[in-house]
């Protein structure tokens, strides 16, 4: 097809001639239809350039970000595709490098929501996007800019996606230029090689062009088909008469509370993926309980009065969220043993933050033991610590309250070290001592 060859030739011209520099190309790869088509066309362009010019030297980074709460179906598919890309790039001697990014521990959704008590994200307080999606990839881009001075990001956006997307793309475009300045990232340019493709053409490429890295594009098509609900985004031109409508599916975080209803997850369940039911049930419960004033403290995390007394989540509700999450994880692990909704590092960080917030009535290890009937190693039961605890108890045997205070102060210090943040340690310690003194005075 001419439109495919035209895009490939444009990519070659941009890569070899128009952008004759060492600026790395960075492809944001989600595994969806648009990023898949874009990478396939870039791959074909590099193949063609290598054939006619003998070499292609500049690295192309395929960056895939995992928010750690992605739809499990998509996680499995994307990981498989990324492995194939890595292997094929080596075998074909292509300058394509796969980079996987994840949020930092302190930015994870569970650490902030269950640990710190942040309310579940919504349109008014969408704190998740920057922490989970933007910052991890932005750090990698910054590293490349620091190394090469500038970088070019290839994006799979298209004018035909929506009127809003078209307006945004036009607002950043420069007449007669392929590259546009990144609105936020300094010394970074954007290039949208599939900007003029229609939806039908995207699906035509997926269904007709073999994957250069050996993936089965029919699998991607089927994922979209399974996630389709009542609205359709049908490929008019297909190469296989067995294909059905693929749907206007948007794959994102399985816990996404910004949308009112997760139609894609519901459609997957209706199409046979019933093991996802516990995830949808947990997500719906989080949405339903978000604005329950009984789950909220009257203050925000900085201590200021919250609007309508709807501050951070209460300690009891944070513990309940964790308990239900662990129950959900255990339930889906019955059929998918490797499924993991929350990592051990996140569990440790949550306990750490609870200590910092002076929450000592709830223990992550106890919740874990209650659900899994086995101990969760919080690295506090080793022999050395046991000896230290016994010694401290002996010293404080005549003043048990002093033992509790010292233990809490040591825990606070340890929590700061774990999260690599000493800021606020002095204030936290002073606050705890002040509370202890007031409690002792009131007792007298």
Give me the CATH number covering residue 164: 3.40.50.620
How remote is the C-alpha of 115 from its chain's centroid? 17
Among candidate residues 372, 405, 424, the one where a domain is terminated:
372
Could you give the CA distance from residue 424 to residue 419 in angstroms, rounded to a whole number? Answer: 12
Parts of the chain with a pLDDT under 50: 230-249, 381-382
Q: Are 125 and 162 in contact (CB under 8 A)?
A: no
What pTM value is reported for the model? 0.80
pLDDT of residue 396: 83
Structural domains counted in the chain: 3
pLDDT at residue 232, rounded to an integer: 39
Considering the domain architecture, whether residues 96 and 18 belong to the same structural domain is answered as yes
By residue count, the chain amounts to: 444
Examine the domain organization and report whether 153 and 205 are in the same domain: yes
Residues 319 and 299 in one domain: yes
129-187 pLDDT, tens digit per residue, is 999 999 999 999 999 999 999 999 999 999 877 566 556 656 656 555 799 999 889 99
The pLDDT of residue 411 is 63
Inside any domain, residue 246: no
| Domain end call among 198, 217, 236 | 217
Q: 408 and 351 in one domain?
A: no
**Residue 344 forms part of a structural domain:** yes
The beta-carbon contacts of 282-287 under 8 Å, at least 24 apart in sequence, are 282/255, 282/324, 282/325, 282/328, 283/254, 283/255, 283/256, 283/257, 285/324, 286/120, 286/255, 286/257, 286/321, 287/120, 287/257, 287/260
User: What is the pLDDT at residue 398?
Assistant: 79
> Is 190 strand, coil or helix?
strand
Whether residue 319 is found in the same domain as residue 431 = no
Domain that holds residue 402: 383-438
Q: Is the domain of 304 the same as that of 192?
A: no
Structure tokens at 195: 């900007």
Q: Kindly state whether residue 165 falls inside one of the protein's structural domains.
A: yes
* 59 contact partners, CB below 8 Å, separation of at least 6: 24, 25, 95, 96, 97
179 and 205 part of one domain:
yes
Same domain, 58 and 137: yes
Same domain, yes or no: 388 and 347? no
pLDDT tens-digit profile of 69-92?
999 999 999 999 999 999 999 999
Q: Is residue 272 in some structural domain? A: no
Tokens for 4? 């495919």
In this structure, is residue 110 part of a structural domain?
no
pLDDT reported for residue 176: 53
Establish if 150 belongs to a structural domain: yes
Q: Are residues 429 and 351 in the same domain?
A: no
Residues 160 and 52 in one domain: yes
- Round to whole Å and give the CA distance between 128 and 118: 10
pLDDT value at residue 350: 96
Phi (first) and psi of residue 395, to 5 degrees? -65, -35
95 SS3 class? coil
Whole-number Cα distances in Å, 345 to 136, 327, 351, 353: 17, 18, 10, 12
Whether 186 is covered by a domain: the verdict is: yes
Q: What angle do CA 234, 236, 240 make, to 5 degrees?
A: 95
pLDDT of residue 437: 75
Q: Among the three residues 331, 350, 372, which one is the final residue of a domain in this structure?
A: 372
Domain presence at residue 244:
no
Query: Do 199 and 309 lie in a common domain?
Result: no
pLDDT of the residue at 32: 92
């Amino acid at each position: 097809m001419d439109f495919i060859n035209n895009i490939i030739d444009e990519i070659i011209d941009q890569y070899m001639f128009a952008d004759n520099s060492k600026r790395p190309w960075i492809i944001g790869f989600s595994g969806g239809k648009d990023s898949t088509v874009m990478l396939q066309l870039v791959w074909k362009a590099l193949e063609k350039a290598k054939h006619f010019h003998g070499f292609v030297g500049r690295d192309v980074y395929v960056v895939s970000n995992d928010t750690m709460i992605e739809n499990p179906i998509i996680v499995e598919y994307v990981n498989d595709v990324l492995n194939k890309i890595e292997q094929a790039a080596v075998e074909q001697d292509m300058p394509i490098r796969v980079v996987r990014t994840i949020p930092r521990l302190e930015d994870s959704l569970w650490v902030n929501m269950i640990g710190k008590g942040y309310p579940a994200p919504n349109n008014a307080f969408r704190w998740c996007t920057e922490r989970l999606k933007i910052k991890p990839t932005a750090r990698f881009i910054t590293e490349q800019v620091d190394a090469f001075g500038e970088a070019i990001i290839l994006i799979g956006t298209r004018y035909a996606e929506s009127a809003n997307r078209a307006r945004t793309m036009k607002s950043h475009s420069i007449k007669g230029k392929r590259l546009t300045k990144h609105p936020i990232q300094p010394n970074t340019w954007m290039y949208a090689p599939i900007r003029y493709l229609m939806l039908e053409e995207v699906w035509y490429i997926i269904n007709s062009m073999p994957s250069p890295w050996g993936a089965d594009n029919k699998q991607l098509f089927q994922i979209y088909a399974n996630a389709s609900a009542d609205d359709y985004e049908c490929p008019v031109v297909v190469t296989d008469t067995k294909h059905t409508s693929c749907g206007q599916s948007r794959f994102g975080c399985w816990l996404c509370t910004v949308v009112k209803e997760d139609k894609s997850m519901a459609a997957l369940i209706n199409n046979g993926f019933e093991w996802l039911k516990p995830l949808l049930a947990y997500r719906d419960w989080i949405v339903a309980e978000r604005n329950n004033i009984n789950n909220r403290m009257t203050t925000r995390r900085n201590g200021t009065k919250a609007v309508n007394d709807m501050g951070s989540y209460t300690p009891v509700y944070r513990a309940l969220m964790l308990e239900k999450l662990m129950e959900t994880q255990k339930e889906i692990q019955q059929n998918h043993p490797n499924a993991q909704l929350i990592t051990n590092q996140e569990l440790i960080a949550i306990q750490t933050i609870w200590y910092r917030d002076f929450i000592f009535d709830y223990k992550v290890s106890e919740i874990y033991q209650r659900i899994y009937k086995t101990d969760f190693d919080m690295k506090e039961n080793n022999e050395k610590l046991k000896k230290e605890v016994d010694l401290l108890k002996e010293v404080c045997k005549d003043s048990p309250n002093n033992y509790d205070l010292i233990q809490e102060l040591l825990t606070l210090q340890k929590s700061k070290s774990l999260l690599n943040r000493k800021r606020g340690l002095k204030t936290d310690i002073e606050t705890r001592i002040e509370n202890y003194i007031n409690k002792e005075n009131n007792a007298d």
